[in-house]
Amino acid sequence: MVFLTGDLGFMALEPLQAAMAQRFINAGVAEQNMVSVAAAMAREGLEPWVYSIAPFCYARPFEQIRNDVAFHNLRVRLIGNGGGYGYGVQGPTHHAVEDYGVLLTLPNMRALVPVFDQDVPDVVTRAGETTGPVYLRLGRGEPPAGYAPPSYAPWRQLTAGGGAVVVGVGPLVGTYIEPFAALPEETRPNLWAACELPLGANPPPAALLDQIAKSRRLLVVEEHVARGGAGAELALMALQQGWPVEDFRHLCASGRIHPTYGSQAFLRLQSGLDPASMLEAAGPQTGKGRG
Amino acid sequence: MHFDAGVGHIGGNLSCLDALMVLHHEFIGADDRFILSKGHSAGALYATLWSLGRLSDEQLKTFTRDDSVLGVHPPVSGIQDIRFATGSLGHGLSLAAGTAKALQLTGKPGRAFCLTSDGEWQEGSTYEALVFAIHHRLANLTILIDHNRLQGFGSTGEVASMDPLAQRFSGFDVDIAVVDGHDPEAIREALSVTDRLRIVVLDTHKGHGVSFMQDRMEWHYLPIDDAQYRQAVAEIESR
């Protein structure tokens, strides 16, 4: 195993650096070279893990990921920290709201997006078991206080009731648990977290499809732009497979370059991803129109 | 091959063919690795592999045909001696550096050889790779540069003030040799140094050996017609 970082990890990766010794390589501020070096190492039978903050991990070296890693189906694990609006006030150059959509256009590519901090060891294990390239979009888990997340699985139901089906990606999902739990059971949404993309490789479970058949409402939420996201994939799946969805909505990152800076919570609010916007979209009082 | 296929990139194939032949026939062994960073010279590499018996006559005849693994640029898979599909410039040196680093980390014998073009040194990633190779003291890496001074739409001097190229590397802590890239003995001597990271700048001519092609930029891209092909063959056979 070899760990490569693009000069990021100060105050975080020092223990890993000490443990891995010469197998820990700070490849410097040179992400294109880092990814091709990792591809060559994988070609030689090593197991490279490549780390940077999310935008520098996939956007700068995209052609290296495409030509050198994905075309050759090499076991390179790309770890992007702070996916979505995770680096809030650092500004749009540090945001990654199109990362997995862009990457999943490539052959052989998979993306893993944990919801809770407790998922990370399982997600890392899943990435390690993957035979081709994989992208880990990491973020800070945001469960309600005192919440015990269910064990990791590609699909997990986090709230249950007689309301709409809500499918979400990433830590954002954790912010809806408490508001949904406060709703009466008959109108409470069935909140699902999907962690492994593309969804076609891990189709939604039968229980989720049963809930769609009952509520006829499907809402997808993700801190990612509409194009290339899980919403587009689920909408296509629904049409191709004839799911009885009468009300489909997609809450997603606007992708707009905001004129002002702000925290991750502020930027989610600008895109209507905050819990109040979610309650309005998925709660019992709406369902009249299509979002 | 190129005449039969009706494709171009002949000039850059002829400028590096001598170096590819010496390198593959005399230096690359079972433990060694070769990366063709200037992927548009895949034809010269196929011809070299054919001369070693690594590709058959029948395989060579499929060059650029439908359903052939022998494209204008090296394929993703299907030829054991080709480790990476190149063609977009600026990737190969990083791939070679990563290969050399992997051999270094695992304590394996063998050397990584990489052939780049000269115009390719306008890609920033090439310098990222050079910095990495020097920093990691990749003594098991040899970088060959086909310095034919002509790129796709001008000369390397006109386009980017990169002639002579070797001067661009003078600030780097790396061993540099500049040799006649069409003189087998000079190439042999330069490649014989294997105890250090070395850049071998091959002074070459685009379209070498064919009078109407030599040092003419248009032969970066142009295919060859029937009369030109007959003249080129006659000139090469008379040498």
Give the mean pLDDT of A200-212. Answer: 96
Q: Which two tokens stand for residue B59?
A: 């395989």
Are A173 and A271 members of one domain? yes
Residue A101 lies in a domain: yes
Q: What percent of chain B has pLDDT over 70?
A: 100
Residue B54, phi-psi category: left (phi > 0), alpha (psi -120 to 50), beta (remainder): alpha
Are A175 and A96 members of one domain? no
pLDDT of residue A289: 47
Task: Give B209 to chain A, closest Cα distance, Å.
Answer: 33
B220-230: buried (b, 16+ CB within 10 Å) or exposed (e) per residue?
Answer: bebebeeebbe
Check CB contact under 8 Å for B94 and A36.
Answer: yes
Q: Do B115 and B144 form a contact (C-beta atoms < 8 A)?
A: yes
Chain B residues with CB under 8 Å of A38 CB are 98
Are A186 and A125 members of one domain? no
User: Tokens 């076991």 belong to which residue?
Assistant: A75
Are A90 and A215 members of one domain? no
Q: What pLDDT digit, counting tens, does each position of B10-27 carry?
A: 999 999 999 999 999 999
Q: Which two tokens stand for residue A121?
A: 């060891």
- Label residue A255 by pLDDT band (50, 70, 90): confident
Nearest to B132 among A33, A44, A72 (CB): A33
Nearest to B94 among A33, A44, A46 (CB): A33
Task: Give B17 to chain A, closest Cα distance, Å.
Answer: 25
Is the predicted pLDDT of residue A93 greater than 60, yes or no? Answer: yes
Chain B residues with CB under 8 Å of A2 CB are 102, 105
Chain centre distance of CA A52 = 16
Check CB contact under 8 Å for A44 and B132.
Answer: no
**Cβ atoms within 10 A of the Cβ of B88, count?**
17
d(Cα B205, Cα B18) in Å, to the nearest integer? 11
**Cβ atoms within 10 A of the Cβ of A203, count?**
13
Are A53 and A125 members of one domain? yes
**Residues on A contacting B at a C-beta cutoff of 8 Å:** 2, 22-23, 25, 27-28, 30, 32-33, 35-41, 43-46, 63-64, 67-68, 71-72
User: Tokens 């920093």 belong to which residue?
Assistant: B135
Residue A221 lies in a domain: yes
- Label residue B220 by pLDDT band (50, 70, 90): confident
Q: What pLDDT digit, counting tens, does each position of B29-57 carry?
A: 999 999 999 999 999 999 999 999 999 99
Are A123 and A31 members of one domain? yes
Are A6 and A83 members of one domain? yes
The tally of domains found in chain A comes to: 2
Residue A194 lies in a domain: yes
Interface test with B, best of A20, A44, A73, A76 (most B CBs within 10 A): A44
Residue A290 lies in a domain: no
pTM: 0.96
Preceding amide of A198 cis, omega within 30: yes
Q: Which domain holds residue A84?
A: 2-138
Nearest to A36 among B87, B91, B131 (CB): B91
Are A103 and A176 members of one domain? no
Domain B2-237 has CATH 3.20.19.10: no
Are A132 and A184 members of one domain? no
Q: What percent of chain B has pLDDT over 90?
A: 92
Residue B161, phi-psi category: left (phi > 0), alpha (psi -120 to 50), beta (remainder): left
d(Cα A199, Cα A196) in Å, to the nearest integer? 6
- Label residue A285 by pLDDT band (50, 70, 90): low
User: Which residues lie closer than 8 Å to A238 by C-beta, 6 or more apart?
Assistant: A212, A218, A245, A248
Give the mean pLDDT of A176-191. Answer: 97
